[in-house]
Structure 1
């Protein structure tokens, strides 16, 4: 969570920061949720009852695959869909691959409601979706949010449909650092950091960030923002440029304003999309 780049809507970052605050300060926790799972590959994984976690791609209807992307996004996790409030890139990626390789699937709907998540794994997952979009018709349906890493994944679809109340964008990167040195001093505690290597203890929570380290971290975040903008511009060629993506300054856009900014393609109620997508695909062979 801390000292690592995140592609998150700032409001979501604040929420998670508040949830972790008690742990950082050594205070009692109001409650904690499991933040992700790392284990066997999804094809081999089983739940607590011995049943397979993954049994193939879900279908929205005959010939149309459905990939659900909801909640905070994490890199690894041997589960499909949302679990404990998170969805894993690992799970999304395997579904995208299977949709691409399954000849019985003519098109794919990505149902997205996410404020974003980890940078790690996000671009690889987005490329898997883009490979799927290159091979078959795909449409991202927002119900109602696709922000930051969530938007990166949505942009990899051929088309993005947003409801009038939906929000998308936040093409940027955020990271947070906690400096508890003042609190430690107030409590009469001192932490001595022993290290071998000048940068071994960079971003530790027991001292303020040195200016050179801060400058380096901000530079790296900006590099990631540029990569983010370049990637979504490539996915949405002809509709969104790198310059336009950067010019948003990580802002978010609602409904028709998202369409006008080139971040989405149409405003439509999610419940109407399946029938329209089926009609566009035509009858099954």
Structure 2
């Protein structure tokens, strides 16, 4: 379904509303619609000089598009395979952001506009598609409407931690387009690319002087005191100007808060940038970009990262770089980072070692738990049987957590030691108490040689009878 915006609709979207867009883009839009919407006398100062309508039209000549777009995004878009909605290559879904950004424009850039609805639907489709392992926000846009922007950013931020998402800024990623880029896990920027312009702007056209000069008087009939606020046929009252300023500040504060949360900055830091636009390493230093990289390098690096073995098995988003530095990154000239600064990579050997360590720890924990349970069971049985007795040794073994096998071995060792001690004592006693000499020792019937063992035995027997 094609959508044609009416004159009233375009004026309502352009004037007296917060826009997150570059001033140069606003001038181009005015040039494209100048004659059709009676803004011949509107001058836009961008570099300190006034631009007439002819100059605006010249700026818009190569960018003028018919204001139409496809219909709203089907709510079932997330169920559609990603490669039917966008370009998918080597497991990476490319979500294009081109031209001015608007609330609704369907899937993909169309007629010079990209809709927030289409961006969100494309990302959701890629997240749901098992064949997609990473998402690349391919951005070249000066920004656009505030309406719908923050809702889209909230959805994109909420899905962080699922599939890795990188924002790649080609020429420019400013204002609203940068807000979308900041939702990614990391942002890369071409060395001559532009990023930032974090602020809002609004335009108001006052034709009252021109109309008076032409002898035209416009009378407005409104039902309320504020019904005609900001109309172009009367000078702008101060209270209405203040109201427009308040809207701009409110939108800007939300924008600052989003960038701060997404990029790990403070709101004060983002506000202090004063909507400045940065290029290359300046954007890295400002905390808005992670790496300065050429387009091809950025795409190649991202594809390699999401297709690495650890990425395939681990899942989840890429860890934020944190350092906000281009050091160690692949640059547009093809050079590679020093090995010491590159991210470590898990190997099969480290994974096997971790698995073995975990198995050993689990086995040890299980044995300990079994021993404890057995000790508690034996103690409970002994307590239930009042007639039973437990030796001090068994009680000590139960309290220490010794197993039955260990206790039996200890008993055997103790018994053997006790028997050995008894034999040794008997031998010592025999040596000291047996009579010395021959038959003259007083043992009747003895032969010429004395049998000391027999004599000792007989002596013991006699002693026992006595």
Specify if TM > 0.5.
Answer: yes
* 95-104 or 191-200, larger mean C-alpha shift: 95-104
Q: Name the structure 2 match of 1:65.
A: 93
Q: Is the 8 A contact 2:69 2:111 kept in 1?
A: no
Q: Name the structure 2 match of 1:111.
A: 138
Distance 1:121 1:128 in 2: 11
For residue 250 of structure 1, give the secondary structure of its aligned residue in structure 2.
Answer: coil
- Which structure has the larger Rg over C-alpha atoms? 2
Q: Name the structure 2 match of 1:74.
A: 102
The alignment status of 1:233 with 2:257, answered yes or no, reads no
Distance 1:26 1:258 in 2: 36
Structure holding more helix per residue? 2
The one of 262, 274, 295 equivalent to 1:249 is 274
The alignment status of 1:41 with 2:54, answered yes or no, reads no
Distance 2:241 2:39 in 1: 25
Give the 5 Å matches for 1:1-285: 1-25=14-38, 33-37=65-69, 39-42=71-74, 55-59=84-88, 61-78=89-106, 80-237=107-264, 240-281=265-306, 282-283=308-309, 284=312
Q: Structure 1: where are the runs of 5+ without partners?
A: 46-53
Q: Name the structure 1 match of 2:380.
A: none
Post-superposition offset of 1:26: 7.0
Superposed CA offset, 1:56-102 (max 9, x none): 3421x222111011111111123x32211111111111101112222
Superposed CA offset, 1:93-133 (max 9, x none): 11011122223221111100000011111112222322343
Distance 2:68 2:192 in 1: 29
Distance 1:56 1:40 in 2: 14
For residue 138 of structure 2, give the secondary structure of its aligned residue in structure 1.
Answer: strand
Post-superposition offset of 1:43: 6.4
For residue 36 of structure 2, give the secondary structure of its aligned residue in structure 1.
Answer: helix
Q: Is the 8 A contact 1:164 1:255 kept in 2?
A: yes
Q: Structure 2: where are the runs of 5+ without partners?
A: 1-13, 41-52, 78-82, 314-466
Post-superposition offset of 1:136: 1.6
State TM-score, norm by structure 1: 0.89
The alignment yields a C-alpha RMSD, in angstroms, of 2.2
Q: Is the 8 A contact 1:96 1:132 kept in 2?
A: no
Q: Name the structure 2 match of 1:50.
A: none
Superposed CA offset, 1:126-169 (max 9, x none): 22322343312111001111000000000000101001100010
Distance 1:150 1:163 in 2: 15
Q: 1:269 to 1:182 in 2, by over 3 A?
A: same
For residue 144 of structure 2, give the secondary structure of its aligned residue in structure 1.
Answer: strand
Count of matched residue positions in the alignment of Structure 1 and Structure 2? 273
More contact order relative to length (CA 8 Å, sep ≥ 6): 1
Q: 1:40 to 1:214 in 2, by over 3 A?
A: closer
